Amino acid sequence: EMADEYVLLGASEFIKDRLYFATLRTKPKTTANSHYFSTDDEFLYENFYADFGPLNLGMLYRYCCKLNKKLKSFTHSRKRVIHYTSYDQRKRANAAVLIGAYSVIYLKRSPEEAYRSLISGNNTAYLPFRDAALGDCTYNLTILDCLQGIRKALQCGFFNFETFDVEEYEHYERVENGDMNWIIPGKILAFSGPHPRSKIENGYPLHAPEAYFPYFQEHHVTAVVRLNRKIYDGRRFTDGGFEHHDLFFVDGTTPSDLITRRFLHVCESTEGAVAVHCKAGLGRTGTLIGCYLMKHYRFTAADAIAWIRICRPGSIIGPQQDFLEEISLCFATFIFHSILTSLPVPAAEKHSHSIMLPPPCFTIGIVLGFLQM
């Protein structure tokens, strides 16, 4: 019992006398009053390079089911349920997003309240997430960013754990089944680039355009956007009844204003859903989808990066992160300016010669795309 009290002193409290999160050096023993569990070795992130999280939507769903079951279980009905993690900074950050997201989704906490709980007690700061690259990390995605992205997606109706089909999510995200993830269900799907023919190359399954037809038809995908160089003939999609758009830009780079505006236009003018791919369907694909989220759903850059990575780990790499941050700032400034310029001008200022110029980042033509809302 003393050990329990000691653990609770330093733990984050989510529900008083009921749900806690603790960072512990050794595995604790469950007692008469406390039930301990860890998910550090159950939900494992499959890294590309130096990235280590956040965990994907399927794992978040499975975690929430597990925790709900524990909280509803008769065996634990009078016990404190304590989710514990280790001092491995990567596992700890992933565990924090799980319980933080649970409290946002099920306990109706704001991301800020959930984060405040996470850093209470003797919990030190959490390691921020990084992109799926080899070099130095230039952009930190924090635990709070992840919680804010999840809440934004929840508010926009992008996921609902009452009806979420985790088997379907896990099936289609596998390379052999198409490597596809919905970022905006019913509207934007990210997938890995098709190849001229379906085959296994060095143990890696490749899919021809036709392999996607049944799924696309069933899910009302009517347009395909290719962002990488031509590996297959685009007419194979148009012959199958889909629109096909080529918006090439170099791997690992950021899109031009023109490419961004054309992408937004395709998404806006397509009746059905749009399937987007580059080579792996991660960097270039995630970047343009991020622009759409910021324009149509008012996501911040960090919200968009967090949500896209939770749906499709490894998305948005290197300079693409800063590009989204720039677009986000331009968009926020534009909204702010439009509010300012719509306010009545005090009489004394009406005759002054100062002209309100848009901030310098407005030279980015993308805001023109945003203007056509």
| pLDDT tens digits along 186-243 | 999 999 999 999 999 999 999 999 999 999 999 999 999 999 999 999 999 999 999 9
Position 363 pLDDT exceeds 60: no
Q: Are 64 and 105 in contact (CB under 8 A)?
A: yes
pLDDT band at 352 (very low <50, low <70, confident <90, very high): very low
Q: Are 128 and 140 in contact (CB under 8 A)?
A: yes
pLDDT band at 356 (very low <50, low <70, confident <90, very high): very low
Give me the domains of the chain, ranges plus CATH numbers.
2-155 (3.90.190.10), 166-325 (3.90.190.10)
Position 159 pLDDT exceeds 70: yes
Amino acid in position 256: S
Nearest to 171 by CA among 180, 162, 158: 180
pLDDT band at 331 (very low <50, low <70, confident <90, very high): confident
Give the model's pLDDT for residue 349: 46
Nearest to 152 by CA among 290, 295, 23, 299: 299
Position 119 pLDDT exceeds 70: yes
Separation of alpha carbons 82 and 240, rounded Å: 53
Which residues are registered as beta bridge partners of 22? 84
Catalytic residue positions, numbered: 278
355 vs 131, higher pLDDT: 131
pTM: 0.91
Which residues are registered as beta bridge partners of 105? none
Position 84 pLDDT exceeds 70: yes
Residue 84, classed as helix, strand or coil, is strand
DSSP states of 203-269 as a string? TEEE--GGGGHHHHHHTTEEEEEE-S--SS-THHHHHTT-EEEE----TTS---HHHHHHHHHHHHH
Separation of alpha carbons 146 and 192, rounded Å: 24
Beta strands 221-226 and 273-277, pairing class: parallel
Phi and psi at 315, nearest 5°, equal -75, 150
Q: Is the dihedral of CA 108, 112, 114, 117 positive or negative?
A: negative
Please give the average per-residue pLDDT across 179-188, as a whole number.
99
Give the model's pLDDT for residue 294: 96
Q: Taking phi first (over 0 means left), then psi (-120 to 50 degrees means alpha), and beta for anything else, what does residue 101 get? A: alpha
Separation of alpha carbons 107 and 15, rounded Å: 9
Nearest to 20 by CA among 54, 60, 70: 70
- What mean pLDDT, rounded, does the chain reach? 92
Percentage of the chain beyond pLDDT 90 is 83
Phi and psi at 135, nearest 5°, equal -70, -165
Amino acid in position 213: F
Separation of alpha carbons 358 and 211, rounded Å: 48
Nearest to 214 by CA among 271, 165, 172, 268: 172
Amino acid in position 277: H
Please give the average per-residue pLDDT across 328-347, as a whole number.
72
- Render pLDDT for 42-72 as a digit per residue (tens, 0 to 9): 999 999 999 999 999 999 999 999 999 999 9
Direct distance between the N- and C-terminal alpha carbons of the chain, in angstroms, rounded to an integer: 60
Give the model's pLDDT for residue 347: 53
Please give the average per-residue pLDDT across 263-289, as a whole number.
98
Give the model's pLDDT for residue 362: 42
Contacts of 120 (CB under 8 A, 6+ apart): 12, 13
Task: Give the relative orientation of helices 89-105 and 111-118 as an angle to the nearest 10 degrees.
Answer: 140
Length of the chain in terms of residues written: 373
pLDDT band at 365 (very low <50, low <70, confident <90, very high): low
Please give the average per-residue pLDDT across 321-347, as a whole number.
78
Position 350 pLDDT exceeds 50: no
Question: Chain centroid to CA 80: how far?
Answer: 31
